[in-house]
Amino acid sequence: MQQRHFHAHETARMDALDGLPLAGFRRRAVGLAVDSAILLALWVMIVFLWRTVVAHMHGTTRMDYGFDRHTAPGLLFFLGYYALACYLGNGQSPGKWVAKTRVVSLTHESMGKWQSFERALGYGASALEGGFGFAQYFMHRNRQTVHDRIAETIVVDESKSAVRLANVEAEEPEAATSSHPV
């Protein structure tokens, strides 16, 4: 399968990103799966500890495992994890680190707080309608999903085998000119 590369079309920032190797769907899925596993493990530990403390304080062994009271805190925890991981790691959460990918801003040199939060919120938009927002990866020229477009980001491949398009063109000028007719 041929490697895809980002194609800039608007600003100097996008020109600076032109030719970056985009992360493949498998790498992105691995990163999301690792982050989701970490998120789930943390959530289970927090809920277990919380319920243990509350049960101990009330002197009861009965614990209510109702979903409704924990939905809002769970969503806030989800948003907080993805937003903080993206912001503190400058686009590289633990899952993205494992998958050797990074979220890159199309508008700024680094991921800001608000842009990281927008991207975390965008995961919900991507999950709507049966996950169709994630499937849009296959339809968009720069392999952006709904949450990427909402936050104005791309996901790049940071593996050693990934080659920036400009580097390939510099090494093989005849191949670059033949693929781009004047």
pLDDT digits (tens, 9 = 90+) for 83-93: 999 999 999 99
What is the percent of the chain where pLDDT is above 70? 77
Q: Which residues face 105 on adjacent strands?
A: 153
pTM over 0.85, yes/no: no
Q: What is the mean pLDDT of the chain?
A: 82
Q: How far apart are CA 78 and CA 123, in angstroms?
A: 10
Classify the C-alpha dihedral 28-31-34-36 as positive or negative.
Answer: negative
Q: Which residues face 179 on adjacent strands?
A: none
What is the percent of the chain where pLDDT is above 90? 43
Tokens encoding 85: 């991981």
Would you list the domain boundaries of the chain?
A: 12-176
